[in-house]
Amino acid sequence: MLDISRHLRLILSLTLLALTPALASAAQGAKQAAPPPSASAQNAIQLVQHGQCKEALPLLKRALPRISDKDLKYHATMAITRCAMDLQDEKTAADTLLLMQREFPADPEVLYIATHYFSEMGLHAAQELATRAPASVQARRLQAESLESQGKNDEASTIYNKILEENPRTPGIHYRLGQILLAEAGNTGSTDKAQAEFQKEIEIEPNNASAEFILGELARRQGQWNEAVLHFTRASQLDVGFAEAYLALGMSLNASGNYAASLKPLESYVKMQPADPAGHYQLAMAYARTGNKEASAQQLALQAKAASNGQAATDTTEGHAIH
């Protein structure tokens, strides 16, 4: 079972303790006409404060769907999460954290606890995989990915290549090797070997939109516009939500002088990413070159607004950092 760290459980305990005055006040105000779910939840939270999670958790789970008060729902979900962790009830803890992220998406405490819990759960799953199937492709791939994250690309490549020796058509492995080779090439080295790996990945997994996109980007950097357009088109068709593919396709079409064809992908991109000045600029250029001066001017205005908003956000972030 998942072994949640004492540190994380302490955070939840301190959070609940900090909320106790507010809960006491809410309970006092609810004495005259408290709905049963609210009263039940408040009593259960008090049980949690006294370490009686086994008794409190069923009460909280029954009351939660009927709680309408936002503050009480926050306190109740926090209590459920703590108890589920203490009782090693992974499903309840995960489900409640997902609910909290949906209901309280900007709450720092929720984000902090979710980060730690899901990291713990991922670590536990990795340990289970290594214990139960250490020789599996999945276990060795996870090991190689871990080595990659540590910058140990040679060791990772050795594992990836061994996997391909045993099963040459394992999906995803040529893609990982291509990423390693791209990182090693940097901004000035040859990308031919990386490109070959991505091509092999497409042969094994024709629906890999990410590999298609990278092949398109490599072609775009070399000014091979027709090839870039083919790959970016394929990437956008395989994954209709792949916003970057639409922008790259539009940019490649503009660069090749095919402004009329660039309109549709760029219009799609600015709808998906309206805060990106680059999309508005590229679309403005396409409109201008196809004779739509009014639409071009509108896009330039949107570009300026997006750039201004982006700078304002940066200034605000830097200001918070300074203070």
- pLDDT bin (cut points 50, 70, 90) of residue 50 is confident
Q: Which range among 15-24, 101-110, 223-232 has the greatest average pLDDT? A: 223-232
Question: Taking 70 as the threshold, does the pLDDT of residue 62 lie above it?
Answer: yes
Q: What is the pLDDT of residue 31?
A: 45
Long-range contacts of 252-255 (CB under 8 A, 24+ apart): 252/216, 252/220, 252/225, 252/228, 253/225, 253/229, 253/286, 254/282, 254/285, 254/286, 254/289, 255/220, 255/223, 255/225
Kindly report the pTM of this predicted structure: 0.72
Domain CATH number, residue 88: 1.25.40
Mean pLDDT in residue range 152-181: 97
Question: Taking 80 as the threshold, does the pLDDT of residue 13 lie above it?
Answer: no
- pLDDT bin (cut points 50, 70, 90) of residue 1 is very low
Pick 3 or 284 by higher pLDDT.
284
- pLDDT bin (cut points 50, 70, 90) of residue 144 is very high
167 phi-psi bin (left φ>0, alpha ψ -120 to 50, beta other): beta
Q: Give the CB-side neighbour count of residue 229, counting CA atoms within 13 A.
A: 16
CA distance 135 to 245: 37
One-letter identity of residue 183: A
For 90, the domain range is 6-125
Number of domains in the chain: 2
User: Pick from 70, 100, 125: which residue ends a domain?
Assistant: 125
User: Pick from 185, 204, 223: which residue ends a domain?
Assistant: 204
CB 231 within 8 A of CB 213: yes
Q: Which range among 38-47, 86-95, 288-297 has the greatest average pLDDT? A: 288-297
Clarify whether residues 102 and 36 are in a common domain: yes
CA distance 297 to 288: 8
For residue 66, what is the DSSP state?
G
Share of the chain above pLDDT 70, in %: 85
CA distance 212 to 190: 19
Name the 3-class secondary structure at 276.
coil
